[in-house]
Structure 1
Amino acid sequence: MSRLVRYLSHPQVQIDPEIPIQNWSLSKLGQSRVAALAKSGALAGTTKVISSAETKALETARPLAVALGCEVEVRARMHENDRSATGFLPPAEFEEVADAFFANPEQSVRGWETAAAAQTRIVAEVEQCQAEHAAGDLLFVGHGAVGTLLYCHLSGLAISRAYDQGPGGGGCYFEYDAEQRVPHACWRPLEQLITG
């Protein structure tokens, strides 16, 4: 019987330039989207939830794990691409730097972790977790940029922002068969999980 692996990015956050990005919490909208997914039963069959240690990811993972009756395993190396060199950037400036991050994967843009290094890190974490998880579907809860880098790797695609989850604040997923390891489709809003 095939097992599904899903990668879910956290949904909308409460942006606060005074708080380190990794400590941002979900916004009310983000919380309501997670609650709807938890209540829907769409993740039935999932036996383990693995999350980044960032607050917004944990606030996504924990309600889902509670609804599923399973544990959350926290993996610190599943964090978003390291942007600590710049910290918070105004939205327009952030988009410019993010474009450069994806366009030049071997180069550090303004001190950020390179896309190539972030891809190597997230792929290694996911592969290790899959190797340790023998039964049932698996849910990873993380972030948009490293999720896109994982998607590119699994799909055999060069790193490109063309495969990013797009505007809207996150809360998207992709899934693949645990054995074949090729995504069925690119990012889709989590609501498509609920509606089928």
Structure 2
Amino acid sequence: MATIYFLTHPEVVIDPAVPIPRWPLSELGRRRMARFLEAPALADLVAVYSSDEQKALDGAEMAADVLGVTYGVDPELGENDRSATGYLPPVEFWPLVELFFARPDENVRGWESARAAQARIVRAFNRAAEQAPPGDLLIVSHGGVGRLLAAHLAGVEIGQEDRPAHPGGGCWLEIDRERRAITRTWQAIADD
């Protein structure tokens, strides 16, 4: 059975002066990513995919270097479009995220709707699953993307899915590549 490992990027450098899609992994995020890549199960990876956001690119590049595989970039694996608000402080951001999931057909404060984002993400996920060489894959993406994908794969309504196990990111799902079914729910990379 081939596996798709769907990983949410770990911690990032939050800088309100830099566009959110350009935020890189922080040193802690890089250390946690390196720890994840030590897993023996990843030795059989044939390809890595990521969104085009810097934090996911950083993780995919690290994986490709360590595991000796190529990586592809698919913008449709990106987080929901939040450019209408840009950076929001956490006290404002997290309640808005919950509204995004609670009202999946609405453009909450101008954000891309959860339903539209989910359709895009599922297309990208299926494309990777169908086009990559036979074997295990790693997709490095984002927490919101993971939640929307998990809802689809579990056959539940958006907002009813399991959530990533760590608030800083760096969590993964294991998915049967052929059946497109979750075989292991959210696990978190160990902290320092």
TM exceeding 0.5: yes
Which position in structure 2 is the counterpart of 1:11?
A: 10
Aligned to 1:44, what secondary structure does the other structure show?
helix
Question: Which residue identity lines up with residue 66 of structure 1 in the other structure?
Answer: D
1:58-137 → structure 2 map (5 Å cutoff)? 58-137=57-136
Once the two structures are TM-superposed, the CA of residue 38 in structure 1 deviates from its matched residue by: 2.5
Checking the alignment, whether the CA contact within 8 Å between 1:37 and 1:64 is kept in structure 2 is no
What is the match of residue 172 of structure 2?
A: 173
User: Is 1:6–1:140's contact at 8 Å kept on the other side of the alignment?
Assistant: yes
Q: Which amino acid aligns with 1:51?
A: S
SS at match of 1:35: helix
Residue type of the alignment partner of 2:154: S
Contact 1:50 1:73 in 2 (8 A): yes
Across the two proteins, how many residue pairs are aligned to each other? 191
Specify the SS of the correspondent of 1:184.
Answer: strand
Cα distance in 2 between the residues matched to 1:49 and 1:23:
20
Distance change (3 Å), C-alpha of 1:161 and 1:82: farther
Give the fraction of aligned pairs with identical amino acids, expressed as a percent: 44
Asked whether the 8 Å contact 1:50–1:140 carries over to 2, the reply is yes
Following superposition, the deviation at residue 174 of structure 1 comes to 0.3
- Residues 52 and 78 of structure 2 are in contact (CA less than 8 Å); yes or no, is this contact kept in structure 1? yes
2: CA distance between counterparts of 1:164 and 1:82? 20
User: CA 1:121/1:173 → structure 2, altered by over 3 Å: closer, same or farther?
Assistant: same
Q: How much does 1:35 deviate? A: 1.6
For 1:79 and 1:52, locate their aligned partners in 2 and report how far apart those are by CA, in whole Å: 5
Q: Which residue of 2 aligns with 1:152?
A: 151
Q: Deviations over 1:41-81 (max 9, x none)?
A: 44111110001110000111111111111001011111111
Q: Secondary structure at the match of 1:157?
A: coil
Query: d(CA) in 2 for partners of 1:155 and 1:111?
Result: 28
What TM-score results when the alignment is normalised by the length of structure 2? 0.94
Unmatched segments (≥5 aa) in structure 2: none
Deviant stretches of 4+, over 4 Å: none
Query: For residue 123 of structure 2, what is the amino acid of its counterpart?
Result: A
Given that 1:145 and 1:164 are in contact with CA atoms closer than 8 Å, whether structure 2 keeps it comes out as no
Q: Match of 2:69, SS?
A: coil
Looking at structure 2, the residues matched to 28 and 34 of structure 1 have their Cα atoms a distance apart, in angstroms, of 10
RMSD across aligned C-alpha pairs, in angstroms?
1.6
In the alignment, is the contact (CA less than 8 A) between 2:3 and 2:137 conserved in 1?
A: yes
Whole-Å separation in 2 of the counterparts to 1:77 and 1:15: 22
Look up the match of 1:141: 140
Gapped regions of structure 1 (runs ≥ 5): none
For residues 167 and 177 of structure 1, the distance between their equivalents in structure 2, rounded to whole angstroms, comes to: 22
Given the alignment of the two structures, is residue 20 of structure 1 paired with residue 19 of structure 2, yes or no?
Answer: yes
Q: Output the CA distance in 1 between the equivalents of 2:15 and 2:183.
A: 35
| SS of alignment partner, residue 187 of structure 1 | strand
Q: Within 1, Cα distance between the matches of 2:108 and 2:78? A: 18
| 2:117 partner amino acid | A
Q: Does the 8 A contact of 1:103 with 1:161 survive in 2?
A: no
